[in-house]
Structures are given as structure tokens and as C-alpha cells.
Amino acid sequence: MSALTVKTIAFQPLKQRLFNQIQSSEISFEWLTNLLAEQTKKITETLTPAEQMKIKRHFLCSTMIDLPFTTGDISWPKVANMLKKQGDNQADTFINAYECASWGFSLRHYLQHDKQDSPRLLLVSIIDANIFDLEFWRYNENWHESGFGITSILLEIDGPITDELITQCASTYNSMAEFATVVRRHATNKENTTLAMPFFPEHIQQMFDKLLAKQTRLPDLHQDWGHCFGADPWLSILSHCMKNPVIEDQQYLACSLALNGYFSMAQVKVTPQTQFILQEVKGHE
């Protein structure tokens, strides 16, 4: 059994267009940080004070929202301050480099420096929001329709981590097939583990059908949600478990692949106590 337990997955869907007209970066981030903070509060308010004390870190992952930072239109200290005002356990570190695989690299970094033995909690949030309503993010030939949202995962670490987490990079430029092969190799030794894969258009699903024919996979929800970047495996688990309530512990391998070939895979346990929060869609249209 994995030493990584999913305590909560929350998903706040966002519309393609966030505002009726393009807003400044500052206004956009006020809006987004409010939603993120609300989501964090929804997750933490169900915890006891003792459990809340166990939350050691909160990483925010996103490559999509990095453009206003890159151009100097907004800075992380400003955004971090917007979050800080919202109370405890808000995100305070922004990981921008690893695209859809950023959640796994954040987790790896935390585990690298984590010296505790007692159970502890970690929050990872993923924001995919098309702040400037750019066509590139609406639809892209690599993944077709995009899906946008704010996702937060509360994980408990309650033992030594051995091979639960894989972070690596493709060595070829056919990263999709290489990714599927690495997933297959990793899943082979894991009994009763269901794959939660990224959502892709049909031609890529067909490749997974062939390369992962012997593995159990959750359904691809590209038709329902579009490609939701690093959130896909978590949305996949959330959607499945909301339809099929969890009555005993289950094992999933959450898998993400980034455009530039970075992979993250985490074997996680979902229990009957795991909370799933699907929020109402926000945004303009």
C-alpha cells in the first residue's frame, strides 16, 4: 500500500473566458487568488485543528499563468501577499517550470527535504486559467480542446516513500509513446492499481489502448472536460469516485505528461474517508 494517501481532491472548473473583457493582471490575480483561497478553506475547514497543524507546505503549480510574471506585469511577492491575507495554509511557493508534471516535481522537492517521521499533510494546487483568453490555450494541435480550472490535492504522507513517486524526462522526442511505456513498466509490479491518465483526443487514446492494453485505466474524459493539463489524473479520480463511492481502500497511479516530455507519476491510496469536492463553474463564458 502506498504511503501517500489522498485526503481531498477539489476541482473548481473555470470557463474558457474568465471575464467579459480582458482585465489587468492585478485584477485577474485578485480574482484567481480569491478562488484558490476559497478552495483551500473548503478543504481545510473539514480538518480538526490538530490536522490543520500537520499541513507542512502548499505549492502552487502552473505554467499557463506564468506569462504576466515573465513580462513583469505582476510579481510573485504581490500574488503571494494576496494569498497570505486570506489566512493560514495558503500557497506560498510558485512552481512554474515543469508544465503538466509540476505537481510531481513539487512533491519530490518536499519529500527530499522532509525529515519527519510522523504523518504530515501537503497541499498542491494547480491553476490552469486563460487569463488573457489567448487562442493558443483554448485549442492546441497537441491536445485539442483545453479545460481550465483550479485543482487542489491534500495528501497525507504516513510512512517512508520508496517507489511511489516517479519524476523523469523522456529521452526521446516521441514522448507520448515513451510515457505510456514507462507507465506500463511501473504499473506492472503494482497489483490492484488503476491508472489515472491525462485526457487526450481520440488518436492518442487509441495509442494508450494499444500500449496499455493489459492495465486497468479510468475512462478518458477529454470529451467532457477537454485536456485539463496537470489536473487530469486528479479530476479523473475525483470523477470516478464521485460516481462510484469508495467503500474500501483503492490504489491509483496518477500520471501526467508535459509537452516538453517531463513525467510525473504517483501511486496514491484513496480511502472511504477521502473527500471529493466538485465546485460550480466560474468565469464569463
Q: What is the CA radius of gyration of the chain?
A: 18
Considering only residues 80, 211, 246, 278, which one is a binding residue for other proteins as defined by CB under 8 A? 80
Angle, helices 25-44 vs 76-84, to 10°: value is 40
Number of residues that bind other proteins (CB under 8 A): 37
Binding mask 219-258 for other proteins (x = CB under 8 A): ----------------------------------------
CB of 250 to other proteins, least distance (A): 29
CB of 199 to other proteins, least distance (A): 21
CB of 63 to other proteins, least distance (A): 5
Instruction: Check residue 1 for interaction with other proteins (CB under 8 A).
Output: no
CB of 80 to other proteins, least distance (A): 7
* Partners of 256 in beta bridges: 264
Give buried/exposed letters for 70-105 (b at 16+ CB in 10 A, else e): eeeebeeeebbebbeebeebbbeebbbebbbbbbbb
Q: Identify the residue whose cell numbers are 463553474.
A: 281
Considering only residues 38, 52, 54, 67, which one is a binding residue for other proteins as defined by CB under 8 A? 67
CB of 94 to other proteins, least distance (A): 5
CB of 209 to other proteins, least distance (A): 27
Residues 133-192 that bind other proteins (CB under 8 A): 133-136, 167-169
Instruction: Check residue 261 for interaction with other proteins (CB under 8 A).
Output: yes
Q: Which is nearer to other proteins, 73 or 158 (CB)?
A: 73
CB of 152 to other proteins, least distance (A): 18
Q: Please state, in angstroms and as integers, the Cα–Cα distance from residue 36 to each residue in 3, 149, 264, following that order.
A: 27, 10, 23
CB of 71 to other proteins, least distance (A): 5
Amino acid at 56: K
Binding mask 4-43 for other proteins (x = CB under 8 A): ------------------x---------------------
Binding mask 89-118 for other proteins (x = CB under 8 A): ---xxxxxxx------x--xx--xx-----
Q: Which is nearer to other proteins, 100 or 195 (CB)?
A: 100
Q: Please state, in angstroms and as integers, the Cα–Cα distance from residue 89 to each residue in 49, 138, 219, 277, following that order.
A: 12, 31, 33, 18
Q: First and final CA of the chain: distance in angstroms?
A: 43
What stretches of the chain adopt beta strand conformation (E)?
4-14, 55-61, 93-95, 120-128, 139-140, 144-145, 148-157, 165-169, 193-196, 250-257, 262-278
Instruction: Check residue 77 for interaction with other proteins (CB under 8 A).
Output: yes
- Grid cell locating 123: 497541499
Considering only residues 52, 86, 205, 260, which one is a binding residue for other proteins as defined by CB under 8 A? 260
Taking a C-beta distance cutoff of 8 angstroms, is the pair 50, 120 a contact?
Answer: no
> In the chain, what are the helix, strand and coil shares in percent, each to the nearest 5?
35, 30, 35
Residues that bind other proteins (CB under 8 A): 22, 63, 66-73, 75-77, 80, 92-98, 105, 108-109, 112-113, 132-136, 167-169, 260-262
